[in-house]
Structure 1
Amino acid sequence: MSAIKIHVLHTGLVKVDTGLPFHDLSRNPLAFTGLFRSHIHQITLPVSSYLIEHPNGLVLIDTGWHERVRQSQWQELGLQTQINKAYLPAGWSVREQLARLGYQPSDIDYLVLSHLHSDHASGLPLVKDAQHILVSQPEWQAAQHDKLRYIPKMWQGVNVQTYDFSASKLGPFHQSFDLFGDGSLQFIYVPGHSRGLAATLVQGASGQQVLLASDTGYAQTSIDHLYTPGIVINRAQALQSIAWVQQAASEPQVIETLTNHDPAIRPHTITLA
């Protein structure tokens, strides 16, 4: 198998209360909302997407913010602006990042959404010409009924298909989805932050792996100290998911473990031989 390249992209910034990425550091259970909290508790984090050049096709994971947030955060996010403040510097949108790498949306064979929260799905209309757009079945079902955590207009007019997790030896609940059927690109069921959250395990022919942990935790400190996010649908599942990430990250074949919003992570390219 040829080499796999993973392009770590920043497709936006988000300003949030510290209680949102690190629930365990605040005694206030509603700290993540930022309500009645001073601006000194606000931090700015990157919003990441990942473009994977794989021998079996071009794969994009997550989409960051839509370019509309440059004109109006309220138009894109509505009441969610109380919790997430979106910023998209020039050249950072997923469409612009693809163009910089020499691709257009129709070149994407698979666009896979780790989950459907706004900072991961807002840019979806910019890349709706991808050949296949996938999200897990439990995440899709949750997004149809929960209007607080999801903004359905972000996928209106987009042909989103679902996949099912299957029993496996991977993840905290032994469920995963093997995109190509060869173990090189697997999406692992890590619920808690959202109902159908998926982490991504990429494996090269040499056996080296990269774990894209999505929002199981927001930074390396989340993995190190088992900090769960402020926003969860199930705190016990969120803890089991971040604990699995911690264990998986310690395996010798895992050369990098990346959370989606870690300010210490810079855009770079990883090559798996």
Structure 2
Amino acid sequence: MKIHALSGGTLRMKKSVYFPGVAPDAMIELPVSCFLIQHPQGNVLFDTGCHPELASAPFKRIGGMAKTMEVTSPPGVNVIEGLRSLGIRPEDIDLVVNSHFHTDHCGCNIFFTSATIVCHRCELAAARSQNAERQGYFPVDWDSDAQFQEIDSEYDVFGDGRIVLVPLPGHTPGSLGALVTLDQSGAILMASDAASLRSNLDNRTVPRNTWDGDGFLKSLDEIQRIQRSGATIFFGHDAQQWAVLERQRTFT
């Protein structure tokens, strides 16, 4: 089994979203992390990152929400090109696991026409709810002809304990993490935006773009419990960690 770290793009946002008390005009660069998990029974892609159009035509794609984030990665930096560099085509992906349905985590879903989309039942309900776009859910990203597999509790993807999806609500109603156990690297929890930055976990800070603050803190408790058990945490948007992941790229 292997994990490959793939770039889903890079965003620029206001730093105050993540760090209370900073200057309102301070900005932060946020790498978008995606991961290909190669399991003997299939290829699993955890998150699909930003659609290429989010850089070239952001207002066309997500309307006024484009004012809150800017794609700063150059053209060609997306999960499709990352997979191509590994010799993997979109049709080679069996399962896409979306940690949640915000545009930077499911933007390239449309390319994976052969894959089943695995998500939390509460997340799909939130994306389908009235006025969902105000919460950052855009049908152009998540609403496709793909088959959805909804879960509502921990889910062992292949029944062997190697890839277990863990509900981590708070950032959104149905946020998911993936706990993957590798032979050499051991247990790795892909936390996505349940812990976007290492500072969220270390300092127990709740970002401003959080749906449920109390739920977010409870999910941090669960992430810390998993960390104490020996797992490495992969954060959703931590630039310092991403520099390391991008260099190593493959974990076994």
Q: TM-score, normalised by structure 2?
A: 0.90
Change (3 A) 1:123 1:87: farther
User: Structure 1 regions of 5+ residues with no counterpart?
Assistant: 32-36, 167-175
Task: Tell me the equivalent position of 1:233.
Answer: 211
Task: Tell me the equivalent position of 2:4.
Answer: 7
Question: Which of residues 118, 125, 147 is equivalent to 2:133?
Answer: 147
How many pairs align?
245
In 2, the alpha carbon distance for the partners of 1:83 and 1:158 equals 29
Deviation at 1:159, TM superposition (A): 1.0
Task: Tell me the equivalent position of 1:57.
Answer: 42
SS at match of 2:177: strand
Question: Which of residues 93, 101, 107 is equivalent to 2:86?
Answer: 101
CA deviations on 1:65-99 (whole Å, 9 max, x unpaired) are 11112321111221111212223423311111111
In 2, the alpha carbon distance for the partners of 1:129 and 1:88 equals 25
Q: Which amino acid aligns with 2:57?
A: S
Task: Tell me the equivalent position of 2:235.
Answer: 259
Q: Which amino acid aligns with 1:138?
A: C
Q: Is the 8 A contact 2:191 2:236 kept in 1?
A: yes
> Which structure dedicates a bigger proportion of its chain to helix?
2
User: Structure 2 regions of 5+ residues with no counterpart?
Assistant: none
Deviation at 1:207, TM superposition (A): 9.1
Deviation at 1:46, TM superposition (A): 0.3
Deviation at 1:135, TM superposition (A): 1.4
Question: Which of residues 92, 99, 104 is equivalent to 1:114?
Answer: 99
Q: TM-score, normalised by structure 1?
A: 0.84
CA deviations on 1:23-76 (whole Å, 9 max, x unpaired) are xx249xxx9xxxxx32xx111110111011111111101111111123211112
CA deviations on 1:124-176 (whole Å, 9 max, x unpaired) are 22x2323322211110001111221211122343314032223xxxxxxxxx1
**Would you say 1:132 and 2:129 are equivalent positions?**
no
Identity score, percent: 29
In 1, the alpha carbon distance for the partners of 2:115 and 2:140 equals 20
Q: Is the 8 A contact 1:185 1:201 kept in 2?
A: yes
Q: Is the 8 A contact 2:8 2:104 kept in 1?
A: no
Q: Is the 8 A contact 1:11 1:88 kept in 2?
A: no
In 2, the alpha carbon distance for the partners of 1:101 and 1:207 equals 20
In 1, the alpha carbon distance for the partners of 2:174 and 2:133 equals 16
In 1, the alpha carbon distance for the partners of 2:152 and 2:164 equals 10
Task: Tell me the equivalent position of 1:19.
Answer: 16
SS at match of 1:130: coil
Matches within 5 A, 1:237-252: 237-252=215-230
